[in-house]
Amino acid sequence: MRPMSEPVGADVESLCGKCGDTWHVVVAKVGESIAKVQCKECGAYHRHRARGGERAPVKKRDKGRAPATQRTKAAAEIQRAEPLVAPDTSAPPRPYSIRDAYEPGQRIEHPTFGQGVVESVPEPGKMQVFFEGTRRILAQAKGGAGLEPPRHSFGDE
């Protein structure tokens, strides 16, 4: 990119993607290069686009996240991963129900996620299940048989 010596506020030729006009005002510079301009016709702000197709450099922002390749590798590892516990193959998979209680190693059949293996019960009412390509936390033992409904005291009963 060739350096531009025009100061901020100067008129410059730049192609407007909105209205097609070429006369703009320099709004911002990075070093000696024009970074942002404002169209004199429609008032739109955009990166400088010189007649030869040159554009201002795009500044990439670091969001504090892992690079995309690392995120992709991590996702691939989850897909290749095996359950943390060995599945109990002596029994058929149980249909998933939020009311039933499950133990690690049991196989379940979920209507959305398919077949999975219960890996752990991190806290009462929840379980971690390994499905092909993903792990999910599901509810369990909610309002099942044998539980009494809550009692309310509304005056005389």
Average pLDDT over residues 151-157: 59
Q: How many CB atoms lie within 10 A of CB 75?
A: 12
Span 37-89, pLDDT tens digits: 888 888 888 877 776 655 555 556 666 666 666 666 666 555 557 788 888 88
AA letter at 69: T
Is residue 151, in this structure, part of any structural domain at all?
A: no
pLDDT score at 92: 93
Provide the pLDDT for residue 70: 64
State the total domains in the chain: 2
Q: What is the 3-state secondary structure (H, E, C) of 22-50?
A: CEEEEEEEECCEEEEEEECCCCCEEECEC
CB 109 within 8 A of CB 115: yes
Q: Tell me whether residue 45 is in a domain.
A: yes
Query: What residues are paired with 129 via a beta bridge?
Result: 118, 136
CA distances from 65 to 60, 131, 137 (A): 13, 26, 24
Is residue 50 located within the same domain as residue 1? yes
Residue at 18 is within a domain: yes
Q: For residue 131, what are the domain limits?
A: 78-139
Give 82's contacts (C-beta < 8 A, 6+ positions apart). 130
pLDDT confidence band for 1 (50 / 70 / 90): very low
Do 43 and 92 belong to one domain?
Answer: no
Residues 131 and 81: their CA atoms lie apart, in Å, by 10
pLDDT of residue 40: 84
What integer is the mean pLDDT of 134-154? Answer: 72
Q: Tokens standing for 129?
A: 């299940």
Q: 88 and 51: one domain?
A: no
Task: Tell me whether residue 68 is in a domain.
Answer: no
Is 42 contained in some domain?
Answer: yes
Q: Report the pLDDT value the prediction gives residue 137, as an integer from 0 to 100.
A: 93
Q: Are 3 and 48 in a shared domain?
A: yes
Residue 87 inside a domain? The answer is yes
